[in-house]
Amino acid sequence: MERFLNSLKESGPVGVLQPPMLRTLALLLFAQVAPIPADKPPAPAAPKATPAAEPFYREWKMDDLLADVEDLGTGRDFKQGGRTFQNAGCGLCHAFSTYFQGSGFAPDLTGVGSKFSRDIILQSILEPSASINGQYYATLFTLKSGRTLQGVVVEEGNGVYKVAPALSAVENTIEIKEADVVSKKPSPVSPMPPGLLNPFTREQIIDLFAFLDSKGDPEAKIFQSAK
């Protein structure tokens, strides 16, 4: 190409090029153009992502679980029972053996399996307001402003109530001045929320009851495989 251009300089303006020179120029210019690629087949479509499985959720009722928790059998999973206890948030409020310290504002559940029948325990979880412990309850305040507030009284004195609206976070409190209170009484609504078992499968719930029944002993008979 460079040699041809030098010859063009010697030949004068392009307008006076002879036909042979023009043909050569056309061929050289065509050679500088990148070849047009053949049509490519369309790229394969990206595989569709497998949708993530929806998390388990079921609104459990007494009749759904009563038969299962009344006869726990053997070979249950201690670790899964402990994880269910933790993941349900039980340990935020309730102490259990040496594993969970609780908040001090809910019953210690270490010996709950020997104190109450399993149907009572199940109902207290599924329907916490059906029977409220007289020692652990929320207080309903009616204020002079007409507002009502409910929570667990974690401290009182110097004319002020410190109230935790959520039992699972007793460090978060609001202050209510005694002078602003028209009345206060035990609330008919338990500070323990309902639905705590809804994210868990039947097997996880059975293992939770085995965990409660064991008093925290991983060697308890209920965790031994049947022979």
pLDDT reported for residue 29: 53
Is the domain 62-131+192-223 a CATH 1.10.760.10 member? yes
CA separation for the pair 221, 55 (Å, rounded): 32
pLDDT of residue 46: 72
Q: Evaluate if residue 50 carries a pLDDT over 80.
A: no
Computed over every residue of the chain, the mean pLDDT equals 87
Residue 213, pLDDT > 80, answer yes
Please give the CATH number for the structural domain made up of 139-186.
2.30.30
Closest CA to 112 of 88, 152, 85, 146: 85
| Averaged pLDDT for residues 187-197 | 95
State the number of CA atoms in the 13 A half-sphere of 160 facing the CB. Answer: 6
Cβ atoms 205, 72 nearer than 8 A: no
Going from the C-alpha of 149 to that of each of 90, 99, 161, 166, 171, the distances in angstroms are 24, 33, 12, 12, 17
Reported as a single tens digit per residue, the pLDDT across 142-175 is 999 999 999 999 999 999 999 999 999 999 999 9
What pLDDT shows up at residue 47?
A: 75
User: Taking the complete model, does pTM exceed 0.95, yes or no?
Assistant: no
Query: What average pLDDT does this structure show over 50-60?
Result: 87
User: What one-character-per-residue DSSP string does 6-31 give?
Assistant: HHHHHH--GGG--HHHHHHHHHHHHH
